[in-house]
Structure 1
Amino acid sequence: MTPYPLLAVTAVPAEAGALRAVLDPALVAVEAVGVGPAAAASGTARLLARGDYRAVVSVGIAGGFAGRAEIGATVLATRTIAADLGAESPDGFLPIEELGFGSSLLETDPALREALAAALPQAITGDILTLSTVTGTAGTAARLGTRFPRAVAEAMEGYGVAVAAAGAAVPFAELRTISNAIGPRDRAAWQLPEAFAALRAAAPALQSLP
């Protein structure tokens, strides 16, 4: 296949279509790999094995923590964190680090992150959580906000993409736009047009990455 300098990975075709509408395919390859960290990891690993990509970015819409990232905002990850990777205990959630089985977080590549921040000066930078089960209650939102004071958003794929990128020794970044506030699940309140408009507006920054 023809090698591309950058791989942008989304969860669903609608996100991929929003990116392809504004990106030059000679500069950025855009692929939808499926929903959730397992699909993201396996799909990204397959793409990286088949192509000569110099970096990979997890891109799509996300939920934002109220007061940290509002609807329509663009967020950039400093770290991607598998927030539900661990075990329950009588004293609360135990992350995988406390179980001695590895790490639940991966840093994004500083050069990619800084280039995206320079191209998107209004973007909010912070941790982005990866969850297999999207938050649907105020209680869970509050607990996550307390556990992760630097978190600005949650999605379902970033950590999986990051694991695949790390395995292939390829730099990784994560860019999201906010469609809804994290908390009680109310699909009617999601503002998808605003999130997709923000995604299309932010996408050209991918073409300027070093």
Structure 2
Amino acid sequence: MKTLVVAATELEISASIPTLIETNTDYLVTGVGMVATAFSMGQHLSNNSYDLLINVGIAGTFNPYHQLGSIHRIKTDRIHEFGAENDQDFIPIDSLGFGNSVFVEILPQLSLPAEFYDIPYIDGITVNKAHGSEDSIKKIKNEYGLGLLESMEGAAFFYVANKLRIPCIQVRTISNLVERRNTENWNIPLALKELNTWLQSFVTVLQSS
């Protein structure tokens, strides 16, 4: 299965690059954010075709009961606040009739290794501004609940894959609780370790099957 691993930063996959090379798995570092992700993927996929796209990275969680370093697969991802304000109300782009804000995982016809199916599902939102205000965090929890991860690229990744109808999955490990910004509570090294342990195992089994 010809596979492309997509990450925002090289830091997120650096520990896995030797394994990706050994297993003939292509990888793409897009840069941070939705614009960089969409541009880099569009440019790369205009000249390359794949059976599966895998987006990996770290994320923040809105659920204080989630363990840092835990791994999740994203079922649906939403571009947060993509639309228009009407006084105190928000109108999603979907309701305005100018596009979509929610994009989804597309599984390939062939079964994937158990390393994927063993991961619990969760939904995601993709943001241009990582949340660090108690008011905005409370608003998101009231609207979507606690079962939500936050990234800056996930929906853009799904968007490109959905438009091109390429099977795609997104897997993220939790590096921090979304709260008033306090980097002392983050554990990026643990999140990266768990992410790369999973990625190396997954691509090794995938490319040997």
What TM-score, normalized to structure 1?
A: 0.86
Structure 2 match to 1:158 = 154
Rounded to whole Å, the distance in 2 between the matches of 1:46 and 1:57 is 17
Rounded to whole Å, the distance in 2 between the matches of 1:60 and 1:8 is 10
Indicate the structure (1 or 2) with the bigger Cα radius of gyration. Answer: 2
Matches within 5 A, 1:80-91: 80-91=77-88
Residue 124 (1) aligns with residue 124 (2): no
Helix, strand or coil at the partner of 2:94:
helix
Structure 2 match to 1:133 = 129
Rounded to whole Å, the distance in 2 between the matches of 1:207 and 1:160 is 26
Q: Bigger shift: 33-42 or 83-92? A: 83-92
CA drift of 1:77 comes to: 0.7
% identity of equivalent residues: 25
Q: Do the aligned partners of residues 206 and 68 (structure 1) sit closer, same or farther apart at CA in structure 2, a change above 3 Å counting?
A: farther
Which of 70, 74, 79 pairs up with 2:71?
74
Q: Do the aligned partners of residues 108 and 68 (structure 1) sit closer, same or farther apart at CA in structure 2, a change above 3 Å counting?
A: farther
Unpaired runs of at least 5, structure 2 = none
CA drift of 1:194 comes to: 0.7
Matches within 5 A, 1:1-210: 5-67=2-64, 69-111=66-108, 115=112, 118-120=114-116, 123-149=119-145, 151-203=147-199, 204-209=201-206
Rounded to whole Å, the distance in 1 between the matches of 2:99 and 2:54 is 23
CA drift of 1:168 comes to: 2.2
Rounded to whole Å, the distance in 2 between the matches of 1:147 and 1:111 is 31
What TM-score, normalized to structure 2?
A: 0.87
CA drift of 1:19 comes to: 2.8
Residue identity opposite 2:41 in structure 1: T
Helix, strand or coil at the partner of 2:128:
coil
Rounded to whole Å, the distance in 1 between the matches of 2:81 and 2:60 is 16
Q: Do the aligned partners of residues 21 and 187 (structure 1) sit closer, same or farther apart at CA in structure 2, a change above 3 Å counting?
A: farther
1:79 and 1:128 in contact (8 A); partners too = yes
CA drift of 1:70 comes to: 2.8
- How many residues align? The count is 205
Rounded to whole Å, the distance in 2 between the matches of 1:49 and 1:27 is 20
Residue deviations 1:119-146 (CA, integer Å, cap 9, x gap): 1566331111111111112222221122
Helix, strand or coil at the partner of 2:55:
strand
Rounded to whole Å, the distance in 2 between the matches of 1:63 and 1:5 is 30
Helix, strand or coil at the partner of 1:88:
strand
Rounded to whole Å, the distance in 2 between the matches of 1:34 and 1:13 is 9
Rounded to whole Å, the distance in 2 between the matches of 1:88 and 1:207 is 47
Residue identity opposite 2:47 in structure 1: R
Rounded to whole Å, the distance in 1 between the matches of 2:149 and 2:42 is 24
